[in-house]
A and B are shown apart, each in its own frame.
Chain A
Amino acid sequence: MRIARNAAATLFCVVWLFPVYWMVNTAFKPYGDILSTTPRFLPFPFTLANFADAVAKPGFLRDLGNSVLVTGAVVVAAIAVAFLAATALTRFRFPGRRSFLIGVLVVQMVPVPALVIPLFLSLKSVHLLNTFLGLGLTYVALVLPFTIWTLRGFLQGIPVELEEAAMVDGAGRGTVIRRILLPLVLPGIIATSVFAFITAWNDFLFAYVVMKDQSGYTLPVWLVSFSTSTGTDYGGLIAASTLFALPVVVFFALVQRRLVEGMTAGAVKG
């Protein structure tokens, strides 16, 4: 029994890791070995030429810069806006609070691809098509429901007494938020930033529709347009994909456990 289970698990790992392994393997293989009808399973002789090739491709560095700029701005804006909203939702009781929360939930149920058309036309009519501001606003809106909800959960875990004590000592609301709430909620902010980062960094559809000008492409759009150009250079393409995936894999590994915990906490009652 034990052997059978381990065999099944090993088979699963091999199948599931194979695409990742093949990506890394291809990225480090010399060009001649990539285009060989009998595949080589180890990247020997080893080369970094594909990476050099990818980085030197027209547009790669510019679009990497675009991606970093948009993603960075989105993370900062989304977290700031979501933090304010979550503070309002957990520290105050006011009319309209519940409607707001239900609104956030309902918005989350809408299939995102259905929004592409009206968003495209709306951005066009306010002249934000082809601008990073338009794309960034779109991403902020896409990640807000989740970030508000998650930060709200973290803020609820912080005892109000800490803030009340500070206010008794004469601290204003701004000071309380900055000096007490913010440091305590930092782990939550990190987890939600990673989520916002991944959403904005990975998005293809909106960037593809909103940024029609080549100079405004983000990395996913660059990758896809590169892959459909004639005579695809698979060495460069796979190396570029590896570079693109790397930050996500690293960040994701850091917060994955917390995301799964958040999903299942309290779902099964023992």
Chain B
Amino acid sequence: MTADTTSTSSPAAAMAVAGAEPPPRRRRHPHLLPYGLLLPAAGVLALVLGCPLIRLVIISGQDYGLRSLFTGVVGWAGLANYQAVLTSPDLAPVLLRSIGFCAALVVGTLVIGLAVALLMGRLGRRMRAAVSFSLIAAWAIPNVASTLIWKWLFQPVYGVVNWLLTQIGFGDLTQHDWTTSAFSAFTLVWLLVVWQSVPFVALTLHAGLTQIPRSYYEAAAIDGAGPVRVFNAITLPFLRPILGLVTILSVIWDFTVFNQIWILTQGGPSGQTTTLGVWTFTTAFSQNSFGQGGAIAVVSVVLLLALTAVYVRRLVRSGESI
């Protein structure tokens, strides 16, 4: 998941990098066998992903509340749900927060990830192994576990981070509760998500960097190019496809961060860390207003599609060569 963020890779990603491939070689006896083989997969995907997706759009036009949940009787709401969502005083702050937080996460992850990837290429063997080990350790911890560890690290009174900050001389922070102000609560979640996301970005970019032929760098060195020029003229152009891929995946994952915010702040204090995902969830499951929750979910899907439109277009186009 999931917003599971150990979602390590995706077919979309594999697709984007693999490009065109040769057609299957066997052409004999197509008949019904291949359809039979595909049937279970197609069935599960259609039932559990396809139908809900269509149903989401339907629900967003329905008056689906607590009563419908028990009676099964659902009335049509037309565009009332969308009207309620789009005129809600919560909409603007939630949107700004979601986009701003997503941007902060993507920038933080990419900058640190790229820096670490570049650093790895210039380290000795042992030091590089140590960095890889740290990355893999952080990447592998399930996000529910790391979120709970975060809670403990930043706990008022007994948390080690507050103690360290106090020792370093930021004043007495031992009693500080990170979830009481919007800014520090977001900082808390930001640190966690960046900590978990940098490994994927750093290791992927590092793998990309190692594929750039040495000879280009040697030629640049002979020509007397400085490090900045080498980076701009060689590293960046070679890395661009992977960088684009990693950016788009980060946007998708960071825009849909849910577990970490939900477990650490529940959207608080007083709704100030409520992002679109949290808003969807609380509208549907705390207020039992599934229609309105559906409308918010549709709005976020559309928004995410807009953010990633360029990439999706390229994906569908490259699909033509499958």
Contacts and interface: CB of A to CB of B under 8 A. Distances in A.
B166 to A, nearest CB: 10
A81 interface: yes
A168 interface: no
Interface string B135-173: 111111111111011111101011010010000000000
Contacts of A268: 208, 211-212, 238-239, 241-242
B167 to A, nearest CB: 10
A87 interface: yes
Interface in A3-34: 5-6, 8-10, 12-13, 16-17, 19-20, 22-23, 26, 34
Contacts of B207: 260-261, 263-264
Contacts of A265: 17-18
B208 A264 contact: yes
A49 interface: no
Given A111-B256, A119-B48, A266 B300 contact: no
Nearest to A177: B37
A203 B241 contact: no
Contact of B50 (A34, A107, A199, A256): A107
A152 to B, nearest CB: 9
B53 A118 contact: yes
Interface string A71-100: 000000000111011011111111011101
B41 interface: yes
Nearest to A159: B25
Contact of A12 (B134, B151, B152): B134
B119 A9 contact: yes
Nearest to B207: A264
Contacts of B310: none
Given A19-B149, A23-B149, A105-B319, A203 B280 contact: no
Contact of A146 (B9, B30, B290, B300): B9
Contacts of A110: 49, 53, 301
Given A13-B134, A205-B3, A22 B153 contact: yes
B228 interface: no
Nearest to A116: B281
Interface stretch (B86-94, B103-111, B122-130, B180-188): B122-130
A81 B47 CA distance: 14
Interface string B205-237: 001100111000000000000000000000000
A262 B204 CA distance: 10
Interface string A245-270: 10011001100100111111111101
A245 B30 contact: no
A22 B280 contact: no
Contacts of B8: 195, 198, 259
B84 interface: no
Given A85-B40, A264-B208, A109 B252 contact: yes
B135 A16 contact: yes
A22 B52 contact: no
A150 interface: yes
B277 interface: yes
14 contacts: A9-B120, A20-B138, A81-B41, A85-B42, A101-B319, A104-B45, A120-B284, A141-B47, A149-B11, A227-B148, A241-B145, A249-B137, A252-B139, A256-B139
Given A92-B30, A203-B2, 10 more contacts: A17-B134, A37-B163, A82-B41, A100-B42, A115-B49, A204-B2, A227-B148, A252-B140, A263-B13, A266-B19
